[in-house]
Each structure stands twice: as structure tokens, then as C-alpha cells.
A and B are shown apart, each in its own frame.
Chain A
Amino acid sequence: MRFAEKFHIRKHLIQLWRFLEPFRGVLALLVVLVVWLAYPPLTARGETMFFWKPQLLRDVFFERSVFGLLAIGMTLVILSGGIDLSVGSVLGMSGVCFAIFTLHWNWPIAPAVLATVAVGSLAGLLSGLWVVNLRAGLPLAAVIFFVPIMAVLVGFPLWAAIPIGLAVAAAIYFIHRVLRMGRITQPFAATLAMMVIARGAAKWFSGGAKVQSANVPAFYQFLSTGKVPLLIFVFLAVVLFAWVLVRHTRMGRHLYAIGGNVEATRLSGVRVRTVSALAYVFCGLTAALAGIGQVTRTTLGDPEVGVGYELDAIAAVVIGGTSLMGGRGGVLLTLLGVLIIGFLEKYLSLHGWETWARLMAKGAIIVLAVAMQRQRR
């Protein structure tokens, strides 16, 4: 009869787990916080540091704002069944652009922000068009992307840049047609290409050196310093916007549908290509915002910044509980993932864990998070 008893316990445990399963993200965060309560880090004076200390809360949110922005954009793309490996490079490229606009060319802040967001969105658009393989889309995006950038950032006069851009676009179109080339369909491949291209663009625009100046506009301090830096609110605003977009609009539901079953969604009349491409545009947009955040924090435009950031963004999405195969998950889950990583990293850092140990811990959490995802039937 011992086995029967065990069997009942196991059944109850399974029932408990099934009940808690939708909340496992929150549970994971609670576990981190409970461990923090049990073994709090100490200050040099021996005082305990709890996570509700305003300074700590601010630090965690502020440090994670940049990654958080990337993760939110990434969520939309992953929900639709894709992935965007280029966000780190687009962050670097947009950061360099913003730095050039505000530090070298002394543009006022509003146009600089708009232009930077446009650059990032264009990179996203290019990735997106590659993924949904619009035949006209590829040369179209090339024109949209290269003409203004060549003209404005590299110094070609506009009257020369436009014909050159059109010529490049025509060449791409004809090569595609004549050689009957295949199209890129894999998001992995398309965004991998964009990752490399955007990194190259960042180094090109910046001339290989860091973009900086002695006169830093007041906006930089406005956004990234102070008791509660504005960047945190920008991040939270984007979270809210993305949540509304994903949960309460038709486009959001279409994203889930595409991630769940592309064919069925296409057959039911949804414009799959448009919605998918828009997800990538949004991802590029958040990457640009993240780039602006990064530049205002460090007061310089570094073409090398952002290497590896895409993996952190994906980690946050996965830990939050969104499935990498698409169709399940959400923006708030990603926010949870960002917070879990944020509090965990802060906790381990305050306890003096070395970098290697922290990386191992993060890896273990990712494995756990993926293992706990309910398998698709």
C-alpha cells in the first residue's frame, strides 16, 4: 500500500503544478525574492540590503532598461514565430547615429530622436521584408535604407544619393529575377545578415572611433541620471504600449495566430506578411530606443556596443515563459523575465559572485525555464 500513498501524493503534486503552471513566471520571481529575504546581502557596515530599498529598485530597473527594451521588441517577433538576432547591432548603429546627430551635428533633441528611431525601424523593416520575402520588398528596402543614410550620414549630396540608391535597387531586383534566386525565408538567416550589416554600418558611420564631444546636451542627463531616471519610464511606457498592442488589438491577435499556425492564419484571410514585417519594424524601433538609452548613459556613441545583447533579450523572453516556437506568451511575461534576470543578477553581484559563476547561474535558469514550458501536443 506504500506505493498507492506515493501515487496519491504524486497526483496531488501534479494537480498543484497544473494549477500553478500559468503563474510559473511570477513564482520564479517570488523564489528569487524569497531567497533574497532568507540570505540578504550585507553592506560594508553590516546592514542588510533588501530589494525594496528604493536605491536598489532604481538600480535594477535602470540597469535593465536597455535590455528590457530589446526584450519587448523581441517578444513581438518571437510571438509571431520568428527571431531577431540583429537587435544588438541595430542598438549599436542607432546609438552611433544618435550620437552623431546630437554630439557632432548639434541637432535639437526631438529631430534627433525621430531620426534615430527611423533608422532603427528601417533596419527592422529591411529584416522584416527579407523574412516575408516580398520580391519587390528587397530592393525597395535597399532604396529606403541606403539613400537617406548615404546622403545624410556619409555626406553624399541628395541629388547623387537617390540615383545611386535606385540603381542599386534595380540591380538587386534584376539579379533576383534573372538568376531566379531563391528568397530568404528563415528569420534566423535574415536577421543574422542584418546583424552583420548593421554592425558594419555602425563602424562606417562612426569612422571606427567612438563618437563623443565635450558638450553633452542636457537631455542626456535628463534621461539617464537623477533619483529616478527617465529611461525607466520610457521602458515602462514601451511595455504598456506593447502590451496593449499585443493583447487588445487585432494585430496582436494575428501575431499569436501566425506564431501558432502560419498556414491556417493565411487561409483565414489575415495579411500574414504585413503583420510579420511590422513585428520586425517594432523590434527595430525598440532597438533604436535602447540605443538612445545606452548613449545617454555612457555619453558617447560606441560602434562596438551591443555585441551579445540579443542573447540577453532572448534569455529574458524565454525565462519569462514565451515559447520560442511562437504562439504562446506575452509582453508581461517578458517583463517578468527581465525582472527575474535583473533581481537575480543584482543579488549575485551584491553577494560578490564572480562573473563566471553568475553566467553559470543564468544558464541554469534558462535551462530550467525551457524545461518547464508545457510541451505542445
Chain B
Amino acid sequence: MIRLRKLVEAGAWLMLAVMVISAMGCSRREKEGPKGTEDNPWIIGMSQCNLNEPWRKQMNKDIVDAAAKHDDIEVLFKDAQNDVAVQQNQVREFISQKVDLLIISPKESKPLTAPVAEAMDAGIPVIVLDRAIEGDKYTSFIGGDNLLLGRAVGQYVAKILGGKGKVVELKGLMTSEPGVDRRQGFLDGLGETLGPGKIEIIYSSDCQWLEGKAVDDMQSVLARFDQIDVVYGHNDPMAHGAWVASRAEGKGREETIKFIGIDSLPHEGVQYVRQGILDATFYYPTLGPEAIETALKILGGQEVPKKTSLGTKVFTKDNVDQGGEVIEP
């Protein structure tokens, strides 16, 4: 028996050693000479707050695709698993790894402001995506125009309800700017049609961009309210979750309620519109291609705008095959 145990111990040590050595296979060699060439590419660090949201998985994928087109850059990805402290640590790791540029999509604005400032102090340019940080110690911010999006949704809802109806709002993380803006824009877009006897928001909760939370909240909404006309989810997964909960209820309300979402990923939101699950989805660009473009400009020494807002489109059953309808600001 003792012999077996010692054997297992030795085996475990060996396994560990093998794992360590085999993982070294992708180590980089010492580099000399100018940067920005195929042999000595620019190293870009990408700090993603989580990979649970499909939109963020797509963002990373778009960055990988965009970077693959250029031989002179290499992107290192770190996933903070939705933990603010972990993301802070990972930004500091990128700084000590002396990356040439940092792209970050922060979980929250305030806690990540200091680490980004440290990166800037260390001479690393920073591109902030989607959720802004505080102050202006960063190189460039790229985001969708969430106020425009919210307003477009508000105007759409006012139109399809004819000025009268009950709306449920499932919000994204309200400590992040997109969540705040998508709510504010929605209220602005509804404008005068918002009010008792007209369009009423009967329920509004923070589902943190997660489909699971939307399912739970929608279940309690369905139990409490008889009349629901529209469900506005700040992103497609939450709108879909609401649909799932409505179908699970078994009273056929998933047919009568109109579900509206934001993101329009081709295999997700747009598919849902085709299948009749969502009434409409509004396009929020993943910012991946734009991030790489801006990164290349910065590394090439060009000036880039401090803030870039990208526009949006709407996909409904009528226009889904034509690629949606562009919405002007």
C-alpha cells in the first residue's frame, strides 16, 4: 500500500512538471530590433471584464479576427471573470509585462480609473471600450451611442403601442454607463407618451446584463401583472430570457408580449427576430474592429479622437434580411 501511495505522489509531481514544461512551448524569445514587424510584433493587452455575456465573447472574437489580418500585432487576452479586483490585478500585470498598448473594457468605471492612469503613466496608451472610466486619463474611448440607442427604442415603443400600454424594463448593470444611458435614452425617446393612462413602465429592475437574472425577474413580473404589452431588455440575452420565462408560464403570453432587445449579434439577436422571438433588436457594435484600427493608428504615431461614438441600426421582421435599417442621430 505504501508503495502505491509513493508511486501516486511521484506520478503527480511528474504530471505537474510535464504540464509546466509543455506550457512553456508558447514562450516568446528575446527580441531585438525595431517593433511592428512580423518577427517583433506590437504586443497589445486586452482586458475583458467577463466572457459570460455573448456580446463580449463576440467582441473578443472580432478583435482576434481583426488582429489576424495584421502581421505586426499580437493580442494577449485576460478575462477578469466579472471580478473588479481581478481586473485591477490584470491591468497591473499588463503594465509589468510592458505591453505596447492596452485595450480595456472595464467592469466598473471608478475602480478601474486608477489602474488605467498607472498604465498611462507607464507610457502605455490605453483604449477604453464600451464602459467609460472617470476623468480623462486615457488615450481614446470607443463606444456605441447608448443614449441614441435608448431613444430609438423609446420612439419605436411609442410607435408600436400607439401611445398607450404597459412596459417592463429589464436593465443592464446600472453602475455602468451603457445601462444608465440606455435607460435615460429610453425615457427621452418615450417623451410625452410616458405617463399615467398612456405608456407606463410598470416594472424596472437591474438584471446586470445576464439572461439568468432576467428569467428570474420576469417570472415574478408575470406572476404580479396581468397586462404586459412590451418587454424592453437592455440587451438581447435579457430580452430572450424574458421570452423564455413567458413561454414557461404556459399561458401563451410569449406570443402577445412584444420583446425588444439590443445587441443584434448575427447568431443571436438577429436570429431571434427571424424566429419571431424578438419583435426588434437594435444594433450595438462590438467595437472590436474599430479598437484594432485605432490601436494601429496609435502605434503608428497618428492622432486619434478622444471619444468615438458609433451609430446604430434596427432589425425587425420586415428588414432583417436586408441588414436592418440605419438610424440617424
| Range for the number of chain A residues in contact with chain B | 35 or more
The complex places the Cα of A351 from the Cα of B90 at a distance, in Å, of 12
Contact status of A361 and B19, CB under 8 A, knowing A46-B29, A46-B30, A297-B85: yes
User: What per-residue 1/0 map shows which CB atoms of B1-16 lie under 8 Å from chain A?
Assistant: 0000100110011011
B81 contacts A350, C-beta separation under 8 Å: no
CB distance from B2 to the nearest CB of A (A): 10
Question: Is chain B's binding surface mostly helix, strand, loop or mixed?
Answer: helix
Is the C-beta of A353 less than 8 angstroms from some C-beta in chain B?
Answer: yes
- The CA of A42 and the CA of B12, in the complex, are separated in Å by 27
Q: Are B97 and A43 in contact (CB under 8 A)?
A: yes
- Residues B93 and A368 in contact, CB atoms below 8 Å apart: no
**Do A368 and B9 form a contact, CB below 8 Å, given A43-B96, A43-B97?**
yes
Q: How far is the CA of A60 from the CA of B147 in the complex (A)?
A: 41
Q: Flag if A298 contacts B84 (CB, 8 Å).
A: yes
A371 touches which one: B12, B88, B93, B108 (CB < 8 A)? Answer: B12
A59 touches B93 (CB 8 A): yes
Residues of B within 8 A of A56 (CB): 96
Cross-chain contact A47 with B93 (CB below 8 angstroms)? no
How far, in whole Å, are A364 and B20 apart by their CA atoms in the complex? 12
Contact of A44 with B43 at beta-carbon distance under 8 Å, contacts A297-B88, A361-B16 already known: yes
* Beta-carbon contact of B84 and A368 below 8 Å: no
Task: Verify A35–B111 contact, CB threshold 8 A.
Answer: no
Determine the distance from Cα of A49 to Cα of B27 in the docked complex, in whole angstroms.
Answer: 13
Given contacts A294-B85, A300-B111, contact A46 B9 (CB under 8 A): no
Least CB distance from B140 to A in Å reads 20
Residues on B with beta carbons closer than 8 Å to the beta carbon of A219: none
A297 / chain B contacts, CB cutoff of 8 Å: 85, 88, 111
Query: Is there an interface contact between A44 and B99, defined as CB atoms closer than 8 Å?
Result: yes
Q: Is the CB of B16 within 8 A of A365?
A: yes
Question: Is the C-beta of A37 less than 8 angstroms from some C-beta in chain B?
Answer: no
A209 to B207, CA, bound (A): 11
B23 at the interface (CB under 8 A from A): yes
Task: Tell me if A156 is interfacial: C-beta within 8 Å of chain B.
Answer: no
Q: Is the CB of A299 within 8 A of B89?
A: no
- Complex CA gap A352/B19 in Å reads 14
B16 and A42 contact, CB distance less than 8 A: no
A371, B5: Cβ atoms under 8 Å? yes
Collect the chain B residues with CB atoms within 8 Å of residue A346's CB: 93
Cα A56 to Cα B27 with chains together (Å): 19
24 contacts between A and B (CB under 8 A): A43-B96, A44-B43, A44-B98, A44-B99, A44-B100, A46-B32, A49-B96, A49-B97, A55-B96, A56-B96, A59-B92, A59-B93, A63-B89, A209-B174, A209-B206, A210-B175, A225-B114, A297-B85, A298-B84, A346-B93, A351-B23, A355-B79, A364-B16, A371-B8
